Structure 1
Amino acid sequence: MKTFEHYFLASNRWLLIVTLAVMAVIIFANVALRYLTSQSIEWAEEVARHLMIWLTFLGCGPVLRYGGHIAVENLQDALPPRAAVALRAAIALLLLGFFIFFIWFGMDYMERTQYQQTPATQISFAWIYAALPVGAALMLIHWLLMARGYILRREFAADAHFDANASASL
């Protein structure tokens, strides 16, 4: 399981890096062309916007694993240890249900928008909205991999999980 988790984290991290790099190259090329030739790439803004949507949803899982989403922890800090574990278990179940709902809702939304096309690239909006169920599924996997440690010890991943150099050892 640790091997799966290692490769899962590394592939999620590299997917984020590549998506951000592609987005940056497209934006830089468009700005450079606009100022140097007074021409711009007509699809650049649209593709960059859609890559940003994908980047947001693909990044939700690692941020969850790191404990970077907003949280109010005063109640569990004030509770006795057993009650705090019970509260975290309830939170874990609520998050599990939320992620499953997110996947279902995202699939439904994709189905509803499959015949609408983007203005510049003429691709189906379902490809853009696929970021919602894909990101939620990745978040669910991240959550299942870390939920036990969160519930029992309120632990999150260390900074080393997000070090780009750490993935170079793969």
Structure 2
Amino acid sequence: MKRLETAFVTLNGWALIAMLSAMALIVGTNITLRYTTSHSLPWADEAARYLMIWMTFGGAGLVLRTGGHVAITNLQDALPATGQKIMRAAIVLGLLVFFGFMVQVGYQYAQRMQYQVTPALRLPFLYVYAAMPVGFSLLILHLLLIARPFITAGSYKRLDDAEGGTATLPGGANG
């Protein structure tokens, strides 16, 4: 299971690197062409925008794994250890419900937009709006993979998880 999780996280990271590289290449080429030939690629801004959308939704799960999203822990810190675990379990459950709802809404929205095409690239908007259900599905997977250590100890996976370490929430026990 650990190997599968590592492969999943690595694949997710490489997909983000590929999208960021493509975006940098497209924007860099467009800038170079604009200043050297006084012409630019008519689709470059649109492609960069859609890559940014996909990176945002695709990277949210990796950020969730490391505790990088905004968290206000005042109430949790005021609770005893058992109360903190119950609160973290409720947070995980609430997030799973919300993420599942957003997968459904994103899927429905993408389906409604499948016959409209983007202005410059002439791609069906389905491919742009598919970032939402795909991204929230990734969030669900990442959350399920970190739920147990988060609930029991208030810890997240570290970026350098090769040593098996965890980062602890403020006020959370590490163990």
TM-score by length of 1: 0.93
The corresponding residue for 2:88 is 88
Deviation of the 1:161 alpha carbon:
4.8
**Structure 1: which amino acid aligns with 2:154?**
R
**Structure 2: which amino acid aligns with 1:83?**
G
| Aligned-partner SS, 1:156 | strand
The corresponding residue for 2:98 is 98
The corresponding residue for 1:146 is 146
Task: Report how many residues are paired.
Answer: 162
Asked if residue 115 in structure 1 is aligned to residue 79 in structure 2, the reply is no
Asked if residue 65 in structure 1 is aligned to residue 55 in structure 2, the reply is no
Task: Give the RMSD, CA atoms, in angstroms.
Answer: 1.0
Judge conservation of contact 1:149–1:156 (CA < 8 Å) in 2.
yes
User: Within 2, Cα distance between the matches of 1:157 and 1:16?
Assistant: 19
Deviation of the 1:94 alpha carbon:
0.1
Extract unaligned runs of 5+ from structure 1: 163-170
Deviation of the 1:154 alpha carbon:
0.6
The corresponding residue for 2:48 is 48
**Structure 2: which amino acid aligns with 1:47?**
A
Counterparts in 2 of 1:67 and 1:80: CA distance versus 1, 3 Å: same
Deviation of the 1:42 alpha carbon:
0.7
- Which ranges of 4 or more aligned residues in structure 1 deviate by more than 4 Å? none
**What is the CA deviation profile of residues 86-111 of structure 1, one whole-angstrom value per residue up to 9, with x for unaligned ones?**
01111110000011001101100001
Which one scores higher on RCO, CA 8 angstroms, separation ≥ 6?
1
**Structure 1: which amino acid aligns with 2:109?**
Y
| Aligned-partner SS, 1:70 | coil
**Structure 1: which amino acid aligns with 2:62?**
P
Judge conservation of contact 1:9–1:161 (CA < 8 Å) in 2.
no
Asked if residue 30 in structure 1 is aligned to residue 30 in structure 2, the reply is yes
User: Within 1, Cα distance between the matches of 2:148 and 2:98?
Assistant: 17
Judge conservation of contact 1:114–1:125 (CA < 8 Å) in 2.
yes
Q: Per residue, is there more helix in 1 or in 2?
A: 1
The corresponding residue for 2:3 is 3
Counterparts in 2 of 1:117 and 1:20: CA distance versus 1, 3 Å: same
